[in-house]
């Protein structure tokens, strides 16, 4: 019977590459894009090993790891992350992870690590604990989540396609919700020394960012305009855009 390896990774391209490499090397890969789906999968069909991304859209990989170990105490886990900071590696290993691999990585090397860990552990999937373990609900991601390392912004869980300046604009506004940034301040923070930038440049980029935000949550306008002053990010974004009725945020 082929050892089943569960991949918990929100980037389909990376997940596809890992599944192909594992399948080619004689494993049975499975894929989940969120931490909650991974917990359900492990409870229903325990794998021999889990490859767990630290940066998941619904929860921290470290928190998901703790909940996985509550289900299966000795389940082998390899952390996968875009971060190379030593502190992240130390945290993962101190929690009890079996290995830690930073992106970009060699699929062959990762598969070799999987095989080595399973050889040490015997490669047998664990049976979940029979007694239900109280599990706290996974923390909900903020409505607007900025990942500076990846230069990405997620709005209600959806990854936005942003240009460099659109990302800088949203990152600046999100750094202090409710604070009014003047056009001059935004030009200085986002465009820097770009001599050809003008106030209308800020206005044009705010317009395109608003359109991308509305494509995700049409009834919300989280960027407030203060005429003659500048722009601010609303402080009271709802946890779920579906909670909005006739309220308008301007």
- Listed range (26-40, 101-115, 126-140, 151-165) with the worst mean pLDDT: 126-140
pLDDT over 50 (residue 164):
yes
Which CATH code is given to the segment(s) 4-122? 3.40.50.2300
Q: What is the mean pLDDT of the chain?
A: 83
- For the domain bounded by 144-233, which CATH number is listed? 1.10.10.10
102 beta partners: 81
Domain extents in the chain: 4-122, 144-233
Find out whether the peptide bond into 49 is cis, omega within 30 degrees of 0: no
- How many other CB atoms are found less than 10 A from the CB of residue 23? 14
Query: Which residues are CB-contacts of 176 (< 8 A; sequence separation ≥ 6)?
Result: 233
Which of 49-53, 186-190, 217-221 is predicted most confidently?
49-53
Please tell me the distance from the alpha carbon of residue 197 to that of residue 181, in angstroms, as a whole number: 16
In the block, tokens 């952390």 appear at 79
> In the prediction, which pLDDT does 248 show?
42
């Amino acid at each position: 019977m082929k050892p089943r390896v569960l991949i918990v990774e929100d980037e389909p391209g990376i997940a596809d590459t890992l599944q192909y490499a594992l399948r080619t090397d004689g494993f049975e890969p499975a894929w989940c894009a969120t931490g909650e789906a991974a917990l359900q999968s492990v409870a229903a069909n325990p794998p021999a090993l889990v490859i767990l991304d630290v940066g998941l859209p619904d929860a921290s990989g470290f928190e998901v790891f703790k909940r996985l170990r509550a289900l299966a105490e000795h389940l082998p886990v390899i952390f996968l992350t875009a971060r190379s900071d030593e502190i992240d590696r130390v945290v993962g290993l101190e929690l009890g992870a079996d290995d830690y691999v930073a992106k970009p990585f060699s699929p062959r090397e990762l598969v070799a690590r999987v095989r080595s860990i399973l050889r040490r552990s015997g490669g047998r999937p664990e049976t979940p604990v029979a007694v239900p373990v109280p599990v706290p609900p996974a923390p909900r991601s903020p409505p607007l989540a900025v990942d500076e390392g990846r230069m990405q912004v997620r709005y209600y869980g959806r990854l936005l396609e942003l240009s460099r300046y659109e990302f800088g604009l949203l990152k600046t506004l999100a750094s202090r919700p409710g604070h009014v940034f003047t056009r001059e301040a935004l030009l200085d923070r986002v465009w820097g020394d770009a001599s050809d930038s003008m106030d209308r440049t800020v206005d044009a980029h705010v317009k395109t960012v608003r359109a991308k935000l509305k494509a995700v949550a049409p009834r919300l306008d989280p960027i407030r305009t203060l005429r003659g002053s500048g722009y601010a990010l609303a402080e009271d974004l709802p946890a779920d855009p579906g909670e909005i009725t006739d309220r308008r945020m301007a």
